[in-house]
Structure 1
Amino acid sequence: MVLVTGGTGLVGAHLLLHLIENDETKVRALYRNSNYITKTKLLFDLYKKSHLFSKIEWVQADILDVPSLEIAFQNIDYVYHCAASISFNPNDEDQLRKVNIEGTANIVNFCIAKNIKKLCHVSSIAALGDLAQNEKVISETSEWNPEILHSDYAISKYGAEMEVWRGFQEGLPVVIVNPGIIFGPGFFNQGSGAFFTSIKKGFPFYTNGNSAYVSVIDVVKIMTTLMKSDCSGERFIVISENITYKKIIFTIANKIKASKPRIEAKPWLLAIAWRLDWLISSIFRTKRKISKHATQSILNKDLISNEKIKSYLNYNFQEIENYLDTMLLHFKN
Structure 2
Amino acid sequence: MKAAITGACGYVGLNLVRTLLDAGHEVLALDRVHSSHLDPRARWQELDIFDAGALHRALDGIEVVFHLVAKISLLKEDEATWHINVEGVKAVADAALATGVRRVVHVSSIASFDMYQVNGQTIDETAPRSIDAALPVYARSKYAGERELMERAKAGLEVVVCYPTGVFGPEDYGWPMPHLNGNMIDAARGKLPVMVEGGFDLVDVRDLARGLLLAAEKGGNGETYLLGGTYISMIDACRLSASMVGRPGPKFMLPMKLLKGIAAITGPLARRMGKESEFLSEVALDTIETSPRIDHSKAVRELGYQPRPIEDTIRDLLIFGIHHGRFLPEKKGAVQGPIPVPEPDQPKA
TM-score, normalization by structure 1: 0.86
Q: d(CA) in 1 for partners of 2:48 and 2:247? A: 40
Q: CA deviation at 1:19?
A: 1.3
> Which residue is 1:167 aligned to?
152
TM-superposed CA distance for 1:279, in Å, is 4.5
The Cα of 1:132 is off from its aligned counterpart by 6.2
- Equivalent residue of 1:27, what SS? strand
Superposed CA offset, 1:63-108 (max 9, x none): 22323312322222210111211232457x2221111111111011
Letter in 2 for 1:28: L
Distance 1:266 1:66 in 2: 48
Question: Of the candidates 310, 316, 320, which is equivalent to residue 326 of structure 1?
Answer: 316
Cα distance in 1 for partners of 2:52, 2:205 equals 30
Deviation at 1:239, TM superposition (A): 0.6
Taking the aligned partners of 1:144 and 1:228, their CA distance within structure 2 comes to: 26
What displacement does 1:198 show? 4.0
Q: Distance in 2 between matches of 1:236 and 1:219?
A: 11
Instruction: State the superposition RMSD in angstroms.
Output: 2.5
Mapped to 2, the partners of 1:271 and 1:172 lie a distance apart of: 44
Of 110, 123, 137, 1:152 maps to: 137
Distance 1:58 1:202 in 2: 38
TM-score (norm 2): 0.82
- Using the TM superposition, give the Cα deviation of residue 143 of structure 1 relative to its aligned residue in structure 2, in angstroms: 1.9
Residue 17 of structure 2 is aligned to residue 16 of structure 1:
yes
Amino-acid identity (%):
23
Q: In the TM superposition, what is the alpha-carbon distance from 1:292 to its structure 2 partner?
A: 0.6
Instruction: Give ranges in structure 2 of 5+ residues lacking alignment.
Output: 324-349
Match of 2:51 in 1: 65
Tell me the residue number matched to 1:29: 29
Aligned-partner SS, 1:55: coil
Aligned length, in residue pairs: 317
Do 2:60 and 2:100's aligned partners in 1 also have CA atoms closer than 8 Å? no
Task: Flag structure 1 segments of 5+ consecutive residues without an equivalent.
Answer: 42-52
Q: CA deviation at 1:293?
A: 1.0
1:316 is matched with: 306
2:107 is equivalent to residue 100 of structure 1: no
2:286 match: secondary structure: helix
Deviates more, 1:275-284 or 1:239-248: 275-284
Aligned 8 A contact 2:183 2:192 in 1: no
After superposition, residues 1-333 of structure 1 pair within 5 angstroms as: 1-24=2-25, 26-34=26-34, 37-38=35-36, 40-41=37-38, 53-90=39-76, 93-130=78-115, 136-144=121-129, 146-147=131-132, 149-187=134-172, 189-191=176-178, 192-199=180-187, 200=189, 202-229=191-218, 231-258=220-247, 260-282=249-271, 284-289=273-278, 290-300=280-290, 302-333=292-323
How far, CA to CA, are the matches of 1:317 and 1:230 in structure 2?
Answer: 17
